[in-house]
Amino acid sequence: MSYPTPGAVRELYSTDAIARRVAELGQRITKDYAGRSPVLVSILKGSFVFAADLTRAIALPIRVEFLGVRSYDRGTESSGAVQITQDLTHSIEGEDVLVVEDIVDTGLTISYIVNLLRARGATSVRVVSLLDKPVRRRVPVEVDYVGFNVGDAFVVGYGLDCGEEYRNLPGLAELVPKS
C-alpha cells in the first residue's frame, strides 16, 4: 500500500482482506433480506467507498440513499453533536433500512441516525459498519453487521479521513501520531 505521507500511517487491513470481508457481509445481508428490497443509507462522507463495494456484493434489488452527517470538526475527536449536512432524497417510510457506516465509535452518531430513521417511519433499521470500536462506546448501540473490530486507533483510508485527508488510501491504516 502506498500513502500520501510516508510514515504517517500503519496498515491494518489490506485491500484483499477488505474485499473478502465485504463479500462475506454482502452474502449475509442477501440471505437475511431474502425476498425483500432494503434501502441502503450510506452515511457521508466516510462510508461512500464501503457502501459502493457493499452494494455490489448484495444480490437483491436495493435502493441507495445518502445521509450526510458531521460529528467531527477537522480533528480526531468527536464533538458529540450530530449535524445533518445532506438529507435523504426520498422517504424511507415503510422501508427496511440498512444504515451503512464507516466506523461506530462512541455510538453517539449512529444512535442519533437510527432514532432519526425510526422516527421517519422505517419498518426496520439495522446497522452495517465497516469498523466497530467498542472500546470507545459512550452509549449502547447494536451493530448488526461488522466488518472488523478495531482498538483505540484512529483509522483512515478506504473512505475514512482525518481532516479530509487519507480517504483515497486503498486499504485501512492506523494514523500514527506525530512525535
Whether residue 2 is contained in a domain is answered as no
Is this prediction's pTM over 0.95?
no
Whether residue 91 is contained in a domain is answered as yes
CATH (domain of 49)? 3.40.50.2020
Whether residue 48 is contained in a domain is answered as yes
Active site residues: 105
Count Cβ neighbours within 10 Å for each residue of 80-97 and write b for 16 or more, e otherwise: eebeeeeebeeebeebbb
Domain with 59 in it: 9-71+81-175
Terminal-residue alpha carbon distance, the chain: 23
Distance CA 60, CA 82 (A): 31
In this prediction, residue 6 carries a pLDDT of: 46
Helix spans in 7-156 (H): 15-32, 48-57, 108-119
Q: Which residue has the cell 444512535?
A: 111
Whether residue 162 is contained in a domain is answered as yes
Q: What is the 3-state secondary structure (H, E, C) of 74-111?
A: CCCCEEEEEEEEECCCCCCCCCEEEEEEEEECCCHHHH
State the DSSP code for 113.
H
Distance CA 120, CA 67 (A): 13
**Structural domain total, the chain:** 1
Whether residue 146 is contained in a domain is answered as yes
Whether residue 109 is contained in a domain is answered as yes
Whether residue 1 is contained in a domain is answered as no
Local confidence pLDDT in tens for the 179 residues of the chain: 444 454 588 999 999 999 999 999 999 999 999 999 999 999 999 999 999 999 999 999 999 999 999 875 554 455 567 889 999 999 999 999 999 999 999 999 999 999 999 999 999 999 999 999 999 899 999 999 999 999 988 999 999 998 889 999 999 999 887 76
Whether residue 128 is contained in a domain is answered as yes
Distance CA 134, CA 63 (A): 29
Q: Which residue has the cell 452518531?
A: 109
- 10 Å CB burial of residue 21 (0-12, 13-18, 19+) is middle
